[in-house]
Structure formats: C-alpha cells, structure tokens
Structure 1
C-alpha cells in the first residue's frame, strides 16, 4: 500500500511539476527556517541547565527604595551580607560570592613573553564549585580556590597561553585594573558558554593583592547598606519555600544592616532569583529579558511554518478539483471511501516527507552562516538530534494530515454518478477555505512586516537621537594598568604634539557605560532620608568641552584642576529638578552627604544639559561630575580630526608604546561603544528582518501557485472575454481583484494585532519612536505591492494568450 501511495504521489508530482515544485520548496524552506529558529531557542533556554541541583540554586538580588518609591532591582548585594546571614537561616546549605571588578572590561595577563588582554575575569569564594557545576580537566574542584592567589582558567584560555602543555601549577601574572599579582593555576575547567556567568577565569577572593586587598577594607567588608557590587549565590536545602526564605533573609539582614541603611537614607530588601531564570527573565541593567526575544522568535518560527503549511493546503485543495473524476472512477470500480482517504493522506505525507529531507540539507548548509549571524555555535549534535527527529516527525505527520485532510475527506464523499456526469464541483466550499487561508497567511505576513519596520525604526531612532554629547571621531584609550594611569600627564604631553589630535580628556566612566560609584545627596534643609540618588563620575576639567556637553547654568570647571578639587561639582538638569531647583537657582547652593557621622558639603558651580550616559532603555538619572584629587583615571578620550583617521590612530599607537611600554595599546571608537548596548536588539532585528522576508517569499510562492491555478481554471472564460472585446488590462484587473480584496481584508485584521505587539515591545525603552499610522500603511502597501507583482505575472501571461487556443474545442 505504501509503495502504491508513493508511486501515485510521484506520478502526480511529475504531472504537475510547477505545483509540486512550489509545494516542496515552500514547505522545505518553511521547515528549515522553523528548525533553525528552534535550534536558536533551544540554545537560549539551555542556559544554566547544566548545574547539578539547579532547582535549588538562586542568586540573591537587592532592591533599593527611598521614601517608599521602589527602584530598579540590582543583581548585586553588599559584601558581608551573604556570609553574615548564612548561619541564621537553616534553609541555606551553601553560599558563594563572585565579583566581576566594576569598570574592568579587560584583564591584562602576562606569561613569559606573552602579554594580552582577556575579558570576563572574576574573583570568587572557595565555595564556588560547591554550588556551580564545572567540568575540571585539571585540578581538584574542592581545593581549587581555597588558597590565596589561586586561579582557575578555562580550557580555551589554557590553550591560548600554553598550547597543548599542562597548565596546572604554572604561574600567571594578572592585572585586574589595579596592582599586578602572580596567581598559581590550580584548575582548568571546560568553558561553559551557556551560562549567565561568562567567565574566562576565576581568582580566589581572598587574594592578597589588587581587588583582594580592596575587598578586605572595613569600608567594604563591614558595609551592609552600600557597596552593592557583589554577586551572591545560595544553594537551598530540599523542600524549601522561597517566600519563607526571603522573609527570613530580610529579617536577619535588617538586624545587621538597619544602622547602615539609616545612615545612607534608604531602604533595601533582598530577594531570590532562580539560576535557571536569570538569562531568560532578568531585566537588570536595562537589559531586555531574553524571554521577550524568544517569544518573538518562536512566533516567527511558528508563523513561517504555518504559512508554509497553508501554502501546501491551499495548493492541495486547489488541485483537488482536477481529481474529482479520478475519485468518481475509483469509486465506480469498487474503491471504498476509507481507502481513498488513506490514499490522499498518504500522498500528502510522501510529499511532506520529501520536503522534510530537503529541509535538513538546507539547515546543515545554512548553519555556518546562521551561527555567524547570531554569534552562536549551534550544530546538529547527538544532544539535540532526538529533539530534532521528534520535531520533524511531528511536523511531517501534522502537516501531512492537515494539508491532506480536506481533499481526502471532501473528495472521497462524492457520489460517483454525479461526478462523472460533471454535476459536482468544489467551487463553493473549496473557494471559501482558500480565501480564509490566504487572509490568515497575509495577516501573519503583514504583522511580521510591521514588526520588522518598527524595530528598524527604533534602532534608527537610537542611532540618530541626540544623546546630549558628541561621540563622533572620539577615540577611547583604556588605562588598564597602574603604569598607564600614572603616565596620564606624560601621555598628554605627547598627544599635544600630534597634529591630528584636537583635544583629549580623562574619566572613569565613558558614555555608554554604567557609573558604578554613587552617593545619596540632599539640599540644605533636608536630610539623608529624603536624599537623592546620584551617579558620581570623576573627570578632567575639560571633559565637557571634549564631548561637547552643554553648560546651561553656572560655569564649567577651571582649566587649573586644583581650583575645583572634590567639593565643587557640576550636576545635570535632572539632578537639579529632583532636588527641587531650576538650573539657574541651584548655582552656588550647598549639597550634603552624610556617612558614619561625617557630613560632607558640595557646592554646585554648574548645571549641564541632560545626556544619556547609558542606553535609551533607561531613564536619565541624576549625575554629578567632580575633579578628583589624584588624576588616576580608567579611560582617556581623544578627539581626532576626521581626515586621515587611520594615520592618526597609527601615530597614537606609536606614542602610546613610547610612553607605556609594559601596557599593550588598544582603542575603540566611542560611538561604537555606545551602539554595543543594543547588540541584542540588533541581532533580533536582523533575525526578524531575514525571516520576515522569507515568510513573505513563501506567502508569494503560494499566491503564485494559486494564481496559476486560477488562470488554468478560467482559461476558457478568458478566451471568451477576449473574443468579446475585453482588454488585457481588464482581464488582469478581474483576475487580480479577488486577491487584492483578500490582502486588504488581511490588512484590516493585522493592524490592531500589530499595534498591540509593537507597543508591548516598545515598553522596554524609556525613549522610543512612535507606532504611527505610516508604519501600518507602509507594511500594508508592501504586502499589496508584492502580492500584485506575484499575481500579475501569471495574470498577464494568461490574458495575453491566443483565445483560439482556449476555444478550439468548443
């Protein structure tokens, strides 16, 4: 029977080559796209799933509030909290802490004559590997971080430094933005990229240098309210209730930290975030939760598959009319209805199976480009093969049954006598179904096009919006070592000699990066309980000039930096507003900060216009600039002439190497750094654009098939109309009119759906473009134009034919 199905299916495919080709191409491309996006989603949801006892692992988060107003939750806590409350909460089994040193994007690693920068270097408690599961290639997980100045590196980093030699017990010199120190390699782990902790190495938190010394200071080690930069994790015992645990945590925390919080003038609550939820659901730091993109991508995958299946079903039902006589003849010769149903369903399954095989080939060929596009390393492996096979089997059965069900059940119900006399047609029911499917198909396509347009519009808005400063032709030079920081003056003197250098300055936090240092400040007559949360950035006196930041009241810093040291500050417009002042009236006003019984006074000398320090997903917050006593900064910003940029950068490099011989030269463009904040959005926009275009192409394939079928069915009618004087334009309009009406109906349905989903996505941005009517008109016009273009080709060919060929048998 199966052999018979295959033979009949192949004969029908060969007899109707155009329809078969459209069916197979549309379905195979649709399934391939669905598989690619499915692999992407599978990779995304696999984050942190490899940890043992993952259901008991949590990250401790903090939420600051002031005057009852809740702030955005932080993923970090103060240093002493976790170990300080551990013994008083019986549900805690193990705890550990991590620090990715704030402001240290790259770590300088030296070994023998090798010297290079490495990102993602963490400091960790010795209990790290008791909570998180890592595969140790060398060393012992139980003892790896117990000794001071120990380091555990990934196999990728070990290969980079030692090639294929053993790494255990060798000494690396590491500079994590402070003093250099030697670390003994006590372990090599397999790199784990599907983790929210993207670490290339871990050093022991109890190390006696650099950040290790900083963490031992009483102002950090004993601070329960401030200094919130520590990542804290806990493994709970089985049978826990997280709500009860959180309540106990906050009760114990307040017992220890109430005085510190009172001194700072704000409240802080702790919470637990499940490890497996971090990558998908966390919105910390203005990040759009990955689950939002997964929903979008999953919807697109589903839509593409549905569109492909609709094409398959549409063309199957359209061609069913030509098989009515075959059904009548088979029934006359004794075929049962059940055997006819089985035959039609079997034929559909054979065609789907062929399309599935082709889709696997497409996926395998497309994966390298797809991985480059998405920045992933997805592959068809034994790990995901079972899921892929089951998915393909499900797609084959469901698509085959759904697409073949209508012709199978409807055709098999014909009375043979009526069919053979030509008294039975499929026009009514078949036409309604086809029209409904075409409308549904274009509702999906128009919705996707609307989403594609608005995402592109939002990204363009981000790129073109005035951020309040000038980032063009500004080069950022990181000062990652103590040597580089101590040579700022020497480097500055050399930069002045370079003709292409217009100006330069220095700071700790460049635009596009979060300012980690903060203070709670209040105006005269207030207190710490109603203080305003400020971000505090040390800068050189000419910082505002180099970035073209506008002073709207008061003055800028004097060029002689000693005049305005520490206490004289410049604030932004938002800071003045939150303190209850206009920019003009806050000039000269004293502002206060209290800490551990000491009161510090600041004087406002200037107000600058608001600018976007971080991404447009976050609201502008109060910021103050000050001149530090010691000119030791993390970054220099150099303004270059636009002409001869390559040569100017080459001169910068040679100048750097002459001044900082032990620190490798590196640079980046400030505007590129700012756009990196939107990398995830750009990748998603690229995915949506690519697969929306594919969805539209698949829709048009089906539309082309249907228009071809319509031209064939109305072949004689067109001949009669031409003989009676109808022009080519009239015939094309007649044949296109039905499809145009269907696309217009789809547009009416798609607009409210698109508007709803677009506005939900835009809620993730504090500063955003608008979903104006032009977006929907453009999407509808594009869909209509493409549909007309698709239909017109076959309509014009049919209308241009010789009517004699259509009427010669009449």
Structure 2
C-alpha cells in the first residue's frame, strides 16, 4: 500500500456503492482531507478518519438500492420480483404445488426419522473420551466340531495381558449376574448386576455423582446407578446405607453403598448396572463357594470363559502386535488344557465403538445390529427424498409448454439466462423451505409414534444432534438445486422462438428426462416392494417354523435363587411342585437350568471318549423328570429320566446333533456310551430329536441334559392344560408366595420369550414396511400430478382419434402403453438388485426362505397395478371428453 493513499478496501466499497458521477467528487474531497490529516497527525489516525468519513456516504439505503451495471432495476427489486413470481406460479398451480409439497413434507419427516435412527444406531460408544483407543478382548474358540466367536474371554486374561504387554495402558473386566437385593424386608430381583474393577470408570469415563471409584477395591461395597439409588432410597442420601445381596454363590453379603453414578447413555452397549467389586468375586471363588473344593480358583482362572474384558491401549499402539502378543499369552497358559481337550483359543481386539454393529458373536450382553441394515435404511431414506424431488422435476418438465411461453416472453423483455435460472431455482427452494417448516411442525406430535417404530430416543437426541440438523439443512439446499437445476438450465438455454413455440415440452430431451426419472422411481418402488415381500415372508417363515418343542401354554417362573442354599430348599420346592399340580388346569411341572428361548451359557468340552481325546463342545443343562414330556421333545432312542433308576444321577440325555458331533453312527449306537467332562463321567441313556433352544435364525445346538435331583434349576416350567392362562397364573403366584414368601415372584410365558428372540427382526420388518409404504405413497402422488399434465397434453390427439373412429379400448392402450413399457424396463433393471441384495440379507439366517420367481413378478404387478389405478381417473376423463369441445378452436 502506498504511503499517500488510504486503505484500498474502503475505496473499493465507495466505488461499488456510489454512482459514478458522485464517486469522483466525494472521493476527491475525502482524499484531500486524508492528505491534510497525514501532515498533521499519524497515518493510523488519518486512515481511521478516512474510513469513518467514507462510511458516512455509504448509507443503508445505498446498500439496498445501489445501481448495478446494465440493470434497469435495483437488485432488491429483482429479488422481490423473483419471489413474487415464484409465489404466483406456485399458487397458480395449486394442485401440483400441493402434490409436490405434500410429498416433500412426508419425505422430510420420514427421512429425518430414518437418518436419526441410523445416526443413533451408529453412535454407540462413540461418546467415550478415548473411544478410539478402547478395545474389547473377544474370543475365537475352535474345537473338533466347529469354530465360534465369543464376546467373553478367560478370567486371567486381563491381568496376564496387562502385565506383559506395554501398550496396554489400562484394563478391566466384567462378570454379569442376576442378583437378589434385600432392603427393609423387601426383596428385589435385579438382572443387570456386574462385578468389575475401579478401572472401569477410568476407561469408560462414566461420571460418579457421589463417592470415589477407587472404593470399588473394597470387597464389601456396592455402587448404584442414579435410577436404582432413587428406587431404593428416594430422596435420602444413599452413601453408607446397607443393602443385602442374598445367596450370591450361596452367600449372603451385607454391602455398603459407596458410590452413585450417572445412568449409562442409551447408546452404550453396556447397560446401567449395579456394580459389585471384582475382589468380592475373587474371595468367593478362593473360598470354594463357586466351583466347590474339587478344583482351586487358580485352576479355574484359565478355564472360566465368562468375562467381558476391555483394554485401553496407548496412543499409536500397534494393534497387530498387541494381538499377536496376547495370543501368545493365551496359547502358553492354555497349552496343557487345550492339548487335553483338543481345543484352540485365540483372541482379537474389537474396537468398542464397533461392538453394537457387529453380529454373529455369542455371549453378547445385549442385541446388536448389522452395518448392512443401517446402510439399507440410509439408502431407503435417500430413495424417499429422491422420489419426492423427482415428482417435482417430472411435473416441472411436463409443464414446460406453459412455462416455455413465460420464458420466451421474459427473454423478449430482456431477461438474462442467469435471471431465468435464479427464477427456476427459487421456486423449488421456496417449496423445500416451506416443506421443511411444515415437516418440523408436524414432527413434534409424531415423536411418540416415531420412537415406537424406531425404538430410539428420538426427541432429545434430535435436538442435540447437530450433524442431523446440518444434514437436514443440506437436504433442503440439495433438493432445491436438484429439483430446479434441469428445468432452469435446459429451458433457459433454448432459443426464444423455439421456447415460444413450446418445443421443449415435446422435445426428445424433455420426454427422455421424464421417462428416465419415472424409470428411477419405479426401480425404487419395485425393489422396495420385492424387499418387503422377502422380509415379510422370512419373518412369517420364522414364526411358523417347527421348533421341535411345544411352548404353548407354558408359564415360566424364575426360581427363588435366594433360597437355594437353605437346608430345607429341596423339600420346599417339592412341596411347591405338588401344590402347583393340585391347581385345576395345571398339567405338568418341572425345574430346569435352561428353557427354550433363552441362551444357555453353561457349556463344556468332552475330555475323552473310550480313552481317545475328543474335545467336543457341548451345551449342558439340568432338567427335572418331567421336562421332556412338558415340552413334548421327541425321544428317538433309549428312555427319559426315571425315578426308578438310581443311576440316573450320573446319566445323560443328548440330542441328535451331539450324537453326530461325538461320531456315533446312530442314536441307538450312542446308548450306554460314556461322556467325560471335567466334573465327571456320564452315561447316555436317551437321545432326543434336535430342537431350537433359541430362535430359528440360529442353528441347532449340541445339547446334553443331566438330572436336576436337587430341584436347584433356575427356572420352574408349568404346563397349563386350559387356555385360561391368566386365571391359572393367579393361583400359581399365590402358591409360590405361600412357599417362598421372602422371594420375588417373576413369571413369563415361554412363547413370549421365544417371540422376543425375533425383536430385532420384528423391528426391522416394521420399519421396512412403514418406509416402503411411505415411498409408494410419495411415488403415487407424483404419478397423479404427472399423469394429469400428460393426459391434458394428449386431449387433442385423443379427440382426433375419436373423430376418426378409435374405440375406447384402443385409446386406453394408447394413453397407458408408455407407463407399461417404462414399467417393463424398470422391472428388468430391478431384478439383479433384488437377486443380489435380498440374497445377501437372507444369508444372515441359518433357516431361510428360497427366493423364487414370485418374489420378482408379484412386486412388478403390484407396482403396475398401483400405476394404472393412479392414472385411471385421468385416463377415463380424457377418453370421455367430447371432441367438439376440445377441437372447437381448431
């Protein structure tokens, strides 16, 4: 900058906002004063005086009304004119505006719901301050029959790995149990109870409201989430208060409340839990109260495969190197047992923020979701938005004849292409903004419904989700450009005389654009209908599939675990069973450690068979004498447990898959053979058919059953002979409370438990159904608006054909053949999508339907039927039009 000139930027502003004939005089006077100020003061002071003086000439009205080059009106007047013209065009075509606006409103609401759902499902565990360095030690288990992945690993893994691997900064592990909590003579059953270490809080960053997390080292303390503290103590200060944990591994513990922490966020794979110190579990194990005295706790540490273990690695740690070192530790410590059981164990470090979106891992504490499902819903959201925008483009191009005259006149009057383009872009922008405002207004009362179908906390997280808010604003901007760009840039480029003749409306470009966009719409529609048909069929297949067990009219009661170690427990349970059998309508009663519909976590490997190492991984369970009869499980060979056989205490009943995995040729061949586990040898006395322990989306599991002679099973199954389940349930609860008054009564229906296995699939089906219907509705709205314009354009052609003798059936074919041809093209293009994507989705299920020809043809005919029904009214209106009325001016 020259020492004799003022700041250039203010000079440019003056030149920009002042008329040329004013600028020279004003600038000359200001410059003269500027030089005078330089002579008498400092340069900074002279610059400041010049800027202030210059700003005085740039007044508010000048900013709004400055004269542009080669323009006859002010810029603000031009924008006001654009806006008025846009509003006039939108209100002039009320039906089309309403159709476009309604489609956009519905699409915005649906897209926001979809994107919020996808955002929430993808946000699990991303809130931890060090989430990128947090990993779970997941487990790969291989035996002689299969390989499986587990979310848990060995008890000793945490200490062994953190002591030997330098890159592990912190480590903790969790053991999940169900606890019976007693306070003031009231007894509560809490499902989410965990043993853990103080490092849990350091690693995950969950905040303590009261207390110190280091107190979790003390084996006599308990820490409560805020919601549970409020449940037990109300407004009282819970610190120092005593809660009794009843019969945890046969012990009663009086635990002092040492801390209260915030409830975990909803998007955490760890759910809010009562916390007990891991040191208490260790003391109990060392005392022999978990596994007995036959095996020491030190011997169990590398066998107990039930701990969710987490590690925080140092910044920049070599993940592959840490994994390799960890596997060497596992191999070294498990070598003797692995050789004995013919097993292999390996671990892999799973990022904590990927746990919720990784499926196929056993022993997960809570349901997960596939990334492919999230991606699919994202695509559906985009599909729905595109369909709504395509509706506007189709209607805009169909109206090109009318708009063409407007454009021609504007060009004759001297409008530039840039002005025409702004006009065409402003209309969809106004429409999209109006749709956004209406969508937000409608969203508030729809929040409960959206939360019910998406099962995510919608309202609060939307307000906090700045990414989603930015995305919605971006959608409005993008939608405005996409839906207005083609008419704006193509129509404005046509020569004035061609536009005035209306050539664009019937040009190859205009017609081809509409056809391409309709094809895109129909591809989306056919694909969604086909996908919906596959999803509904798969769900119905799963619901109707033969389970191998009869779960109808079975009431399941949680056993009184706080009474199990009492001396008179076995007698009291026997009394309860007899009282239940005396109730009118009760048919059969049995205790068990497992029931259909609940994952069985007790598993073991055979040590040998006939002197040979076997290492077959089997699911184990305890059942009562009547269990097989109660659930109608088919006996294939041998017999059920029988009170007349004293040896049944060391007997086993196995299923077909166990027979196969053990290498026996037939169920009969397995009878009287022995299976050796760590806790003893057991003789096979019976073989039953395979059945689904969990939902049919899982494979059969190799099962073994031992006799529950002490009635210590976790569950009591009650088969009811009558359909009046609720009436009988009241009597069952009364009998239970009469025998076990100090135990909480918890009951469920087994068929409800089985239905819960399909919760994620049911939610997926409901969401997919809702979004598909929305997409079809929006597509139909667009077809209504498009067909009305196209039919009106063909009025003269139809009238001439009628005059020449064309029959109504011929006219119907002529008016609709384009839709049919476009539909056929769309169908051909959609078939590969259905074939590839739906087959990939079905591959996630062990038992699935076969995609046959009907899954392709039915959606095509459904969509074509919707199209013909949608356009039928306009077709009949055109056909019935009197030719004399249409042609009177020709």
Question: By the TM > 0.5 criterion, same fold?
Answer: yes
SS of equivalent residue, structure 1 residue 100: strand
Alignment of 1:240-259 (within 5 A): 240-259=317-336
Cross-structure match for 2:456 = 376
* SS in structure 1 of the partner of residue 746 of structure 2: coil
Q: Does 1:203 align with 2:263?
A: no
Query: Deviation string for 1:9-41 (max 9, x for gaps)?
Result: 111111111110111111121122111111111
1: CA distance between counterparts of 2:517 and 2:510?
A: 11
- 1:515 Cα deviation from its structure 2 partner: 1.9
SS at 2:774 equivalent? helix
**Mapped pair 1:87 → 2:172:** no
Aligned to 2:578: 493
Distance 1:269 1:796, change over 3 A: same
Alpha-carbon contact 1:475-1:637 (below 8 Å) kept:
yes
1:80/1:222 contact within 8 Å kept: no
1:74 equivalent to 2:159? Answer no
Structure 2: gaps spanning 5 or more residues = 1-77
Q: CA deviation at 1:387?
A: 2.0
Partners of 2:700 and 2:745 in 1: CA distance: 33
Map of 1:605 onto structure 2: 685
Shift of residue 180, structure 1, vs aligned partner: 4.0
Q: Given that residues 225 and 264 in structure 1 are in contact (C-alpha distance below 8 angstroms), is that contact kept between their aligned partners in structure 2?
A: no
- The reply on whether 1:164 has 2:235 as its aligned counterpart is yes
* Whole-angstrom distance in 2 between the partners of 1:337 and 1:230: 69
Residue matched to 2:85: 8
Aligned in 2, Cα 1:76/1:584: closer, same or farther, shift over 3 Å? closer
CA contact (8 A) 1:111 1:172 kept: yes
Task: Give the corresponding residue for 2:212.
Answer: 140
Partners of 1:381 and 1:49 in 2: CA distance: 14
How much has 1:91 moved relative to structure 2? Answer: 1.1
Q: Which residue of 1 aligns with 2:353?
A: 276
CA offsets, 1:159-196, max 9 Å, x none? 22233333222222334765443322222222122111
Give distance in 2, aligned partners of 1:175 and 1:323: 80
The whole-number CA distance in structure 2 between the counterparts of 1:404 and 1:176 is 71
Call closer, same or farther: CA 1:158–1:633 in 2, change over 3 Å: same
Deviation of 1:211 (Å): 8.0
Give the structure 2 partner of residue 34 of structure 1: 111
Superposition pairs of residues 453-492 of structure 1, within 5 angstroms? 453-483=533-563, 486=570, 487-492=572-577
What displacement does 1:249 show?
0.9
Structure 1 residues 638 and 670: CA distance shift in structure 2, 3 A: same
1:23 aligns with 2:96: no
For the pair 1:51 / 2:122, whether they are aligned, the reply is no
Alignment partner, residue 125 of structure 1: 197
**What is residue 518 of structure 1 aligned with on the other side?**
603
The structural deviation recorded for 1:328 is 1.0
2:184 corresponds to which residue? Answer: 112
Aligned match of 1:552 = 636
Q: Is the 8 A contact 1:540 1:561 kept in 2?
A: no
The aligned counterpart of 2:382 is 302
Instruction: Summarize the Cα distance change of 1:411–1:604 in structure 2 as closer, same or farther, 3 Å threshold.
Output: same
Q: Structure 1 residues 91 and 688, CA, compared in 2 at 3 Å: closer, same or farther? A: same
Q: What aligned pairs does 1:343-354 form with structure 2 within 5 A after superposition? A: 343-354=423-434
Post-superposition offset of 1:667: 1.1
Cα pair 1:205 1:212 within 8 Å, conserved? no
Contact 2:302/2:333, CA 8 A, preserved across alignment: no
1:421: how far off?
Answer: 4.8
Deviates more, 1:320-329 or 1:221-230: 221-230
Contact 1:220–1:227 (CA under 8 A) maintained in structure 2: no
Q: Distance in 2 between matches of 1:144 and 1:38?
A: 42
Separation of aligned partners in 2, 1:348 and 1:42? 27
Q: CA deviation at 1:364?
A: 2.5
Alpha carbons 2:519, 2:826 under 8 Å: kept: yes
Q: How far, CA to CA, are the matches of 1:431 and 1:195 in structure 2? A: 52
Alignment-derived partner of residue 570 in structure 1: 653
What is the CA RMSD across the aligned residues, in angstroms? 2.3
Q: Scaled by the length of structure 1, what TM-score is found?
A: 0.94
Equivalence for 2:173: 97
Q: Work out whether residues 137 and 187 of structure 1, in 8 Å CA contact, stay in contact via their aligned partners in 2.
A: yes
Segment of structure 1 superposing worse, 617-626 or 13-22? 617-626
Change (3 A) 1:424 1:304: closer
User: Of the candidates 252, 256, 272, which is equivalent to residue 184 of structure 1?
Assistant: 256
Residues 285, 166 of structure 1: CA spacing in aligned structure 2 closer, same or farther, 3 A cutoff?
A: same
Which of 572, 592, 600 pairs up with 2:675? Answer: 592
Q: Is the 8 A contact 1:29 1:359 kept in 2?
A: yes
Distance 1:502 1:523, change over 3 A: same
* 1:713-733, Cα deviation, whole Å (9 max, x unpaired): 112223333344444443333
| Cα 1:124/1:176, change in 2 over 3 Å | farther
Q: Which residue of 2 aligns with 1:534?
A: 618
Q: Deviations over 1:727-779 (max 9, x none)?
A: 44433332222112212221221122012111111111111111122222222
Structure 1 counterpart SS, 2:741: coil
Aligned partners of 1:210 and 1:652: how far apart in 2? Answer: 35
Q: Give distance in 2, aligned partners of 1:232 and 1:212.
A: 21
Aligned partner of residue 279 in structure 1, secondary structure: coil
Q: Deviations over 1:227-271 (max 9, x none)?
A: 211111111112201100011111123232322322333111122
Q: Residue 126 of structure 1: CA displacement?
A: 2.5
Q: Is the 8 A contact 2:180 2:190 kept in 1?
A: yes
* Residue range with higher mean Cα deviation, 726-735 or 82-91: 726-735
Q: 418-427 or 383-392: which moved more?
A: 418-427
Structure 1 position 220, deviation (Å): 4.6
- Verify: 1:758 aligned to 2:843, yes or no: no
> CA 1:321–1:433 in 2, change beyond 3 Å: closer, same or farther?
same
Tell me the equivalent position of 1:579: 662
Match in the other structure for 1:227: 304
Distance 1:335 1:7 in 2: 16
* Structure 1 pair 398–382 and aligned structure 2 pair: CA distance change class (3 A): closer
Task: Name the CA shift for 1:664/1:403 in 2 (closer, same or farther; >3 Å).
Answer: same
Q: 1:422 to 1:269 in 2, by over 3 A?
A: closer
- The yes-or-no answer on 1:149 pairing with 2:220 is yes
Q: Provide closer, same or farther for how the CA distance between residues 425 and 39 of structure 1 changes in structure 2, counting only shifts above 3 A.
A: closer
1:314: which partner in 2? 394
Take 2:342 and 2:278, find their aligned partners in 1: how far apart are those partners? 30
Q: Give the greater-gyration-radius structure (CA).
A: 2
- Structure 1's 573 and 735: CA in aligned 2 closer, same or farther, altered over 3 A? same
Instruction: Provide the residue aligned with 1:443 in structure 2.
Output: 523
TM, length-normalised to structure 2: 0.86
Distance 2:131 2:382 in 1: 30
Specify the alignment match of 1:266 in structure 2: 343
Displacement, 1:584? 4.1
2:99–2:781 CA contact under 8 A, matched in 1: yes
Secondary structure, in 3 states, of the residue corresponding to 1:586? helix
